[in-house]
Amino acid sequence: MFSQTNRTVVVVGAQWGDEGKGKLVDVLAESADWVVRYQGGANAGHTVVLGDHSFILHQIPSGILHEGVRCAIGNGVVLDPDTLFTEIDGLVKDGFDVEGRLYVSDRAHLVLPYHKAIDGESSHSLSLGTTGRGIGPAYEDKIARRGVRVLDLRHADRLRELVTSGVERANAQLAAFGSETRCDADDVLATLHRLKDRLLPLAEDVGLMVYRAQKSGAAVLLEGAQGSLLDVDHGTYPFVTSSSTTSGGAATGVGIPPTSINAVLGVVKAYTTRVGTGPLPTEMDDAMGERVRSLGNEFGATTGRARRCGWFDAVVVRYASRINGLTDVAVTKLDVLDTLDRLAICTGYEYEGEIHTEFPADITAVDRVVPQYEWLDGWQTSTAGARRLEDLPSQARRYLDRMQELIGTRITYVSVGTRRDQIIGL
């Protein structure tokens, strides 16, 4: 992906998340100087497999597993400091040195205990299938201009004022929910006091650092979380996350100009999944869904929840390609389909007697569409050992060719397993 002209690359999910972005970022980070996370929070889980060890990174960019790569958490992220240091301590224990190469934007907002309490007790959050990690309430405070930022830890009086007000609002909400849970401002402040001596040394103007790195010719990888169909503006609202998951969120979430982004890589599974509630037009029947879930180990890295499985939806990915400006696509988990005798690709939706090839904004329409499928023969041969396009069975190549034709964006990577070396560059 990186070249003389492509020095800043965004990696986005082009479905409903869980597409395998962590692996692609890990592979691309080998050639990067910087990897920066630009949105979301500890509700995301990027899994990277090294040998027999799986690393699940919730907030730290996947590039941290490469020695010498600098990593940063941008201002668009809502940061859970407890989780951050749990991740750091786990990496250090496993022999990865993060000293001097991990930075946190001092503009990033903090996820605090009262945000988690609200998220856990809110029936609205539960109905949307959130992770309960406090992400939504933290973003609500940010947009309402009452959030606590990393830089507020430098000012004890202001911090106390913000936290006290936040706890008062949270307790009022909890009472309105009928919950007996209550938060205590002194407890929250004590937690922040305990963490600030570790957090503040990491705090920097990340936007300025990345901007200067770009000017020096550094290779910069911007890592998104979740997927395009979970974007708060462009996803299947209200069954979405609370941030801008698309490439447009990368510039604002890091603090760099949009014109400095050279390429956008969209990551998709060879089929479709989503966690929790919300529409999934190509959802498989129970038996096939359970079979693919088992073959692909489709359980959430953060929550462990079973993912719903569907056939590949070209309408969704074509839409994601348009709103992100995808220049390239990476297809993951092709190997999961190795044993299937037939495969379906959704080419359009029937709705009210008409065929639609563009993804609708109306959630009611999405719930009622009838997917139009094109069926292809499976290959029923293991692809796990393939390292070149020519190594893939002809039916697998035909499947990829048809995907590329329908989504209108070139496929440049194909993953056929969890390991770093199980990837084909096209």
* DSSP-assigned beta bridge partners for residue 72: 36, 103
**CA nearest neighbour of 121 among 134, 109, 103, 108:** 134
Question: CA-CA distance, 265 to 238, in Å (whole number)?
Answer: 26
Q: Give me the half-sphere count of Cα atoms (radius 13 Å) on the Cβ side of residue 284.
A: 22
Is residue 18 flagged as an active site residue? yes
- List the catalytic residue out of 18, 80, 152, 313: 18
**Residue 221 forms beta bridges with which residues?**
9, 35
Q: Among the options 26, 33, 46, 58, which is catalytic?
A: 46
- SS3 call for 79: strand
Q: Is 9 exposed, middle or buried (0-12, 13-18, 19+ CB in 10 A)?
A: buried
The rounded distance, in Å, linking the Cα atoms of 353 and 370 is 10
As a dihedral over the C-alpha atoms of residue 385, residue 390, residue 392, residue 393, rounded to 10 degrees, the angle is -130
> Are 253 and 41 spatial neighbours (Cβ–Cβ below 8 Å)?
no
The set of residues, in sequence order, having a beta carbon less than 8 Å from that of 180 and lying 6+ positions away, is none
Q: Which two tokens stand for residue 114?
A: 């009262």
Told to judge if 124 belongs to the known catalytic residues of this protein, a careful annotator would answer: no
Among residues 203, 324, 261, 249, the alpha carbon closest in space to that of 76 is found at 249
Q: Would you list the DSSP string of 49-113? A: EETTEEEEESSS-GGGGSTT-EEEE-TTBEE-HHHHHHHHHHHHHTT---TTSEEEETTPEEP-H
Q: Which residues are catalytic?
A: 18, 46
